[in-house]
Amino acid sequence: MGAQRRHTALLVVDAQPTFMPGGELPVPDGDAIIAPLVQLIRSGQFSFIAFSRDWHPANHFSFSAEPEFTDGSWPSHGVAGTANAEVHPALIAAARAAGVEFVIISKGMEQNVEAYSAFDGINLETGRTLTEELRARQVKKVETGGLAGEICVKASVLAGIKEGFDMSLFEAGTRFLGPPQGAITEMLGQGAHVDGESAKAPAA
Ligand SMILES: [Zn+2]
């Protein structure tokens, strides 16, 4: 139990108000991830948490006044230094209350580079990538949730597998822009585990 806890981390992808109802690029029901993630943080299963955040310059190339969504153009969102770009304060408070060490991984900071995966970001305090932060703590398994499921969460899960981590999706702590099944099937097909209803029912 102790050894397993020591090697298991929680990755919370882009749980930022900018992606929640009332934010600039809301994911339907996006704030519903907070309660299950807080419960998970309180469970004591993790010795380390990484929170990623979109941390874009105000002129990031993905921003469009007429976003298509399906082609990588989006409304302005996750602008560095704005309150809506901060990791949701309830999650930070939960990590602090539980006494779990955590880092914040910022991504998408270059004007002309997209960064959906948390593994493309860095900890601004240490200059380390997410992989470096995880390896420094001998993490083997990474439970993952956040927003949006088929964009940044999926990209992070697939990147984590390529980096050699045992990646799981925590479905209750994830919300999608559209129907989730395609992304979940893809993650399962690449070797991810899914902790939720979708893992029990085969894809239609
Ligand atoms: Zn973005």
- Per the DSSP assignment, residues forming a β-bridge with 103 are 50
Report the candidate in 82, 113, 107, 3 with the shortest Cα–Cα distance to residue 47.
Answer: 3
pLDDT at 180: 96
Task: Give residue 54 CA to ligand 1 midpoint distance, Å.
Answer: 5
Task: Give residue 108 CA to ligand 1 midpoint distance, Å.
Answer: 6
Point out the residues that are catalytic: 14, 54, 56, 62, 77, 107, 114, 148, 152
- Per the DSSP assignment, residues forming a β-bridge with 104 are 51
pTM: 0.94
Q: CA-to-CA distance for 118 and 97, rounded, in angstroms?
A: 24
pLDDT at 195: 87
Task: Give residue 14 CA to ligand 1 midpoint distance, Å.
Answer: 9
pLDDT at 4: 64
Is the CB of residue 145 less than 8 Å from the CB of residue 33? yes
Low-confidence ranges of the chain (pLDDT < 50): 1, 203-204
Q: CA-to-CA distance for 125 and 123, rounded, in angstroms?
A: 5
> Where do the DSSP E strands lie in the chain?
8-13, 48-54, 101-107, 122-123, 141-146, 166-174, 193-195
Q: CA-to-CA distance for 65 and 75, rounded, in angstroms?
A: 6
* pLDDT (tens digit per residue) in 128-146: 999 999 999 999 999 999 9
